[in-house]
Amino acid sequence: MADRVCETFGRTYEESPMKLRGQKNYNVWMDTAPNTLWDVLQVAGLPIQGDSWDDSVLTYLVVTKRTPVEINKETLLFQVRVEYETDETQLDWQISIRSIRTSYVPTETLAPWVEHPTTWDHPRYISPSGDGGNDSLIAYPTLNRAGDYFEDQPETTRHNRQIILTRVVASISDIGDSTITNIDSLMDFLGCVNGETIQIAGISGLTWHFLVDDITVERILSSSGEYVYKVQITIMYDPVQGWATPVANIGYRSIKDVAGDLRPQQGRNFDGTSSNKPLVLDTDGSVVNIRETGLSGASGPPYYIVFPWHASRFFEFLELPEDLEP
Q: Read out DSSP for 99-134? A: EEEEEE--SS--S-GGG--GGG-STT---TT-TT--
181 and 67 within one domain? no
- The answer to whether position 116 is within a domain reads no
- The answer to whether position 225 is within a domain reads yes
205 and 98 within one domain? yes
DSSP 3-state assignment of 238? coil
Distance between CA atoms of residues 232 and 210, nearest Å: 16
195 and 98 within one domain? yes
- The answer to whether position 107 is within a domain reads no
Given a contact cutoff of 8 angstroms between Cβ atoms, the answer to whether 121 and 127 are in contact is no
Dihedral angle sign, alpha carbons of residues 277, 283, 284, 287: negative
Tell me, what's the pLDDT at 127?
87
234 and 188 within one domain? yes
Dihedral angle sign, alpha carbons of residues 198, 199, 204, 205: negative
98 and 57 within one domain? no
98 and 59 within one domain? no
202 and 80 within one domain? no
What does the pLDDT average to over 278-301? 74
Domain endpoint, select from 86, 116, 134 = 86
Paired with 66 in beta bridges are 82
What does the pLDDT average to over 233-255? 91
Distance between CA atoms of residues 88 and 61, nearest Å: 9
- The answer to whether position 14 is within a domain reads yes
Verify cis geometry, omega within 30 degrees of 0, for the bond prior to 308. no
- The answer to whether position 253 is within a domain reads no
Residue 10's closest CA among 86, 69, 88, 87?
Answer: 69
Range of the domain at 228: 94-102+157-244+309-318
Domain endpoint, select from 42, 57, 86 = 86
Other Cβ atoms closer than 10 A to 156: 11
What pLDDT, in 10s, does the model give residues 190-214? 999 999 999 999 999 999 999 999 9
Is the pLDDT score of 187 beyond 90? yes
98 and 207 within one domain? yes
Q: What is the number of structural domains in the chain?
A: 2
185 and 53 within one domain? no
* pLDDT-based confidence at residue 150 (cuts at 50, 70, 90): confident
314 and 212 within one domain? yes
What pLDDT, in 10s, does the model give residues 208-235? 999 999 999 999 987 677 899 999 999 9
Distance between CA atoms of residues 276 and 273, nearest Å: 9
Query: What's the count of helices (H) and strands (E) in the chain, helices before strands?
Result: 3, 18
Is the pLDDT score of 288 beyond 70? yes
Strand order in the sheet with 227-237: 94-104, 156-169, 227-237, 210-221, 193-194, 312-313
Residue 267's closest CA among 145, 151, 142, 148?
Answer: 148
313 and 164 within one domain? yes
What pLDDT, in 10s, does the model give residues 89-125? 888 999 999 999 988 888 888 888 889 999 999 989 9
Domain endpoint, select from 57, 86, 115 = 86
Q: Which residues of 125-151 are buried (b: 16+ CB within 10 A; e: fewer)?
A: eeebbbeebeeebbbbbbbeeebbbee
Distance between CA atoms of residues 120 and 293, nearest Å: 27
Distance between CA atoms of residues 51 and 49, nearest Å: 6
